[in-house]
Chain A
Amino acid sequence: MEKNIALIINGKKRKVKAHPAERLLDVLRENLKLTGTKEGCGEGECGACSIVLNGEVVNSCIIIFGQLDNGDEITTIEGIAGKKKLHPLQQHFLECGASQCGICTPGMIMAAYALLKKNPKPTREEIKEAVAGNLCRCTGYTKIIEAIEKCVISNVKI
């Protein structure tokens, strides 16, 4: 039995229809074609599927559609850039060399995005803690942390 839920996805109101047991990750990727959100492990361990749900970073592979309520706000990697300009986090990830193979990048940026929304001036330790649930096998993380720090220093509004 499919269910209709009125969501706000990347700032736009959308009525979404899906089976309540479907994973939010699959609803985003398959029903809504938002394939920027990735699957790495399917058990909430790697963070590649991180999105922001009502201001909190969550693993969309371990949330089922039926858990959502009308009016829930979802932000994915597709929803943070301006029309012509990258989001500052995206720009700093680029400039710092924080993205190599790129598969962890959307989730990593969303985890950082949720952090900076809540805490615009995190310390290096707080940054590390905030993205500790997002695995990256390429970079050794240093450049990712540097990119987020640059965003903090640049004082832009997230």
Chain B
Amino acid sequence: MGVVGQNVIRLDGQDKVTGRAQYVDDITMPDMWQGVAVRSTIPSGKVLSINFNPSFNWKKVVIADRHDIPGRNVVTMIEEDLPLLVHDEIRHIGEAIILIAAPTKQIAEEARRHVEIKYEEWEPVLTIEDSKAKKRIIHGKDNVISHYKISKGDIAKGFGEADLIVEGTYRTGAQEHSYIEPQGMIAVPREDGGVDFVGSLQCPFYILKALERLLGISASKLSVKQATIGGAFGGKEDYPSVLAGYASVLALKAKRPVKMVYAREEDMIVTTKRHPSVVRHKTGVKKNGTLVAQEIEIEFDGGAYTTLTPVVLSRGFLHSFGPYFCPHVKIEGTAYATNTPPNGAFRGFGAPQTLFAVEAQMDKIAEALNMSPYEIRKRNCLKIGDEMPTGQILKESAGGMECLERAAEMSDFENKWKEKKGVGMSFFLHGGGFTGSGEVKLKSKAGIRLEKDATLTVLTGCTDMGQGAHTVLPQIVADAVGVPLKMVGIETPDTSKVPDSGPTVASRTTMVIGKVLCVCAEELKKRLSEVAGGNHRDFESLAKAFLKKRGPLTIIEAYEPAPGIHWDDSTYHGDAYAAYSWGCDVAEVEVDMDTFEVKVERVYMVQDVGRAVNPQMCVGQIEGGTLQAVGWALTEEQRYDRGRLLNNRMQTYIIPTTLDTPEFETVIIEHPFSHGPMGAKGLGELPLDGGAPAIVNAIANATGLRIAEIPVTPEKLYEAWKKI
């Protein structure tokens, strides 16, 4: 019997439960200094002067400014508009202006307090509305970072056929990742002029690419290694490149290792957030609930620089219609620049915002038609053979209907909904892997190394950030090769030791890298048989025979997308994702009408993952992701004053504790994806899509108050109640 499908204990678990695991702040080095950044205190303007207060002994520290950047003052992501250190213009609060390294953190902090900066302040643009109205141009010609538009069918004809047209506007706020370990990085100068990095990071090769330009040092003299990471959720996808920039500029100037680990308050002010959004829906339906027209307009707040916004918007855009079939669709999406820190990747990557909107809209439509939320979803559920708005024909692995039916049944949804017991449903899908042609362009590599002792080592740049990739990938390899799991290990993600597997994002590691490893396994077996074939009782004996003749062997393969997948970037037409995972959540809430507090009592979650390689870990992803959505829906509100985050502490930014956590009833279903490893699809982000709309719909069922903006704080609920 294989290990795929088994609840294998995580391979890094022993180190984690004993406290032995080495996170970045646990790593010390001889002669290592501590770095800090001196940051802008205004959202928009320019630096007039920098004064180093002479009451501090500046000889104790090393100061670096933008002239100390050996290459270009740019942190390369999609565009090259993000400077490492303020060049001319300040575009958000917390932008780094100069850097300081000191022998201890205390001295570095003391130095930072003695830097006095004078500014010329400009009127900031702080909201989507102000940016759209071009209150001031802060980005390009029109403040637009990114824009997409598609249509299918004839939207006017669709509205003409409709018996009813329902409109709604939905808003979501910024969300902080709240990984319990703040961001951290160590840069170590090398004798050959290069730099080695170790840090809390998701995507080692992203840093390599960004730092090559910034430092003007060839990638062969740079290496990036992941330390054990204390949570990421997208927050450590792009930002670690910035932190690596700071640490390395200081390390090169100070000629010694420099560590930078953020305090929580600083982390929350300067690092990325989930994009705030406004989504407008105009939907045409028949009396029986059939959708005939969906017109959707999406607006995201991208923050001050491009960073990952175009791709976040793209994913939000491509999930905005939900898991539904509709013949006439028109979607437009725009991301605007504001004078706030750049928003970035956060589990779900734009999809939770647009799925929140469509799922709240579906309940509004159901109410207008006097129909059950379950019925309207079943009636419009995408099925195999249906055409999606990008022209993609759904070919396989469509577990949506089963998710809906199982969730409704296990939660007794219809009865509880009729009795107004405070239940709400959400139905959602999530595309696995990079959008459109992304995986084709990435051609991600992974490998298997046959060691001298006939064990196998998985080689991948994809990281384990707690989700379990470094257990799940060895499970896949063990079965694909046909060896016991104890024969399979995995290399630490270090760019000098592993191939570029693309970033650890987009619910792609199991589905994409797992598949590459299956191909590697086949190639490995073939090569071994060619050289040392014959009668062998098992793989180990074959491998030993091979090793005797040839010695260790490394197989590296690149990802080949599923056959028949086509995408056109210029028209945004084609197969947006190779496979979709599906889910249906039912939330039960209790609303205290004296305090207007909402307590989520229970959430039923049925999610289709293709194949659960490690069911216990799948459940862990579903429960953890759903709880992040509970926080986003109810308490996680980021409050700003003129671009300054007011609640930049764990005491004031409220994520759920055990006492806020509902009981979870989790069911995994498996509609295999033919091109996934053993049928597996993406899972990491799916659970975040369903929680918020299910809760908001449940609040409406309990109170009659349909709140179109999250988080649903008691204040918002009270305001809505006052109006009725």
Contacts and interface: CB of A to CB of B under 8 A. Distances in A.
Interface of A: 29, 34-43, 45-46, 48, 76-78, 81, 86, 90-91, 93-97, 99-106, 109, 127-129, 131-145
B142 interface: no
Contacts of A40: 180-182, 230, 264, 650
A24 to B, nearest CB: 16
A95 B9 CA distance: 6
B26 A105 contact: no
Nearest to A109: B17
Contacts of A48: 180-181
Given A43-B651, A135-B657, A38 B181 contact: yes
B660 to A, nearest CB: 9
Interface in B1-49: 7, 9-10, 12-23, 25-26
Nearest to A144: B658
A36 B228 CA distance: 12
A97 B616 contact: yes
B19 A41 contact: no
Interface string B210-234: 0000000000000000001111110
A8 B304 CA distance: 52
B718 interface: no
Interface stretch (B189-197, B465-473, B638-646): B465-473
Interface in B585-641: 616-617, 619-620, 623-628
Contacts of A134: 658
Contacts of A145: 658
Interface residues of B, number: 55
Given A86-B18, A103-B181, A43 B624 contact: no
Nearest to B603: A140
B9 A94 contact: yes
A105 B17 contact: yes
A139 B661 CA distance: 11
B209 interface: no
Interface of B: 7, 9-10, 12-23, 25-26, 177-182, 228-233, 263-264, 465-468, 616-617, 619-620, 623-628, 649-651, 655, 657-659, 661, 663-664
Contact of A90 (B17, B466, B628, B657): B17
Contacts of A43: 264, 649-651
Nearest to A127: B658
A39 B25 contact: yes
Contact of B17 (A34, A46, A94): A94
B654 to A, nearest CB: 10
9 contacts: A34-B19, A40-B230, A45-B651, A77-B18, A93-B13, A94-B9, A103-B23, A129-B658, A138-B466
B687 to A, nearest CB: 9
A103 B231 contact: yes
A67 B620 CA distance: 39
Nearest to A40: B180
A106 B19 contact: yes
Contacts of A46: 180, 650
Contact of B620 (A34, A81, A97, A131): A97
Which 3 pairs between the two chains have the least Cβ-Cβ distance? A36-B19, A103-B230, A101-B466
Contacts of B620: 97, 100, 138-140, 143
Given A78-B19, A99-B10, A141 B627 contact: yes
A135 B230 CA distance: 12
A28 B619 CA distance: 35
B254 to A, nearest CB: 21
Contacts of A141: 623, 627, 658, 661
A97 B661 contact: no
B467 A100 contact: yes
A35 B28 CA distance: 11
A77 B19 contact: yes
Among A78, A93, A97, the one with the most B-chain Cβ atoms within 10 Å of its Cβ is A97
Contacts of A101: 179-181, 229-232, 465-466
A135 B468 contact: no
Contact of A137 (B10, B12, B231, B649): B231
A56 B171 CA distance: 44
A155 B485 CA distance: 32
A139 B622 CA distance: 9
A128 B658 contact: yes
A119 B497 CA distance: 49
A132 B664 contact: no
Among B19, B23, B228, B467, the one with the most A-chain Cβ atoms within 10 Å of its Cβ is B19
A34 B22 CA distance: 11
Contact of B657 (A39, A97, A132): A132
Contacts of B181: 38, 40, 48, 101, 103
A144 B620 CA distance: 10
A91 B17 CA distance: 8
Contact of B627 (A99, A106, A131, A140): A140
A104 B180 contact: yes
Given A101-B466, A134-B658, A137-B233, 14 more contacts: A34-B19, A35-B26, A40-B180, A41-B649, A45-B650, A46-B180, A48-B181, A102-B12, A104-B180, A104-B230, A127-B658, A138-B466, A138-B620, A140-B664
A86 B14 CA distance: 9
Contacts of B10: 94, 97, 99
Contacts of B14: 86, 94
B17 A137 contact: no
Contacts of A77: 18-19
A129 B179 contact: no
A76 B16 contact: no
A138 B658 contact: no
